Amino acid sequence: MAATTEMQVERVRELIAAIPHGRVSTYGAIAGAAGLSTPRTVAWILRVDGGGLPWQRVIRADGRPAPAVRTRQLALLAEEGVPITDGRVDMRHAFHEP
């Protein structure tokens, strides 16, 4: 299926909302769990309407936040106690598998 369905968008929102405090997940992991064929759609959902969701817990596959919101995101994650080293999240301990 090419077009993204409402159900999938809903699933993405749930998965993101389910990320525990102090942990993080990635665009790719969320997309895969929601049945999307590309992580870009997850980024699109957060960009268009991330209201009410812990968007700061969604980072890129390399463990770094998206450059566009890097500063803000790192600050929020640091407040939650997420292990960050040199601007990079320690995935080994903070990654949350959907």
Count other C-beta atoms under 10 Å from residue 32's C-beta: 15
Give min distance, CB of 44 to DNA, in A. Answer: 5
Give min distance, CB of 55 to DNA, in A. Answer: 3
* φ, ψ dihedrals at 84, nearest 5°: -125, 130
Chain length of the chain: 98
- Give the nearer residue to DNA in terms of CB position, either 20 or 35: 35
Binding positions for DNA, rule: CB under 7 A: 2-4, 26-28, 36-44, 46-47, 50, 55, 58, 60-62, 66-69
Give min distance, CB of 81 to DNA, in A. Answer: 19
- Give the nearer residue to DNA in terms of CB position, either 69 or 84: 69
| Cα 95 to Cα 63: distance, rounded to the nearest angstrom | 9
Q: The tokens 């769990």 sit on which residue?
A: 33
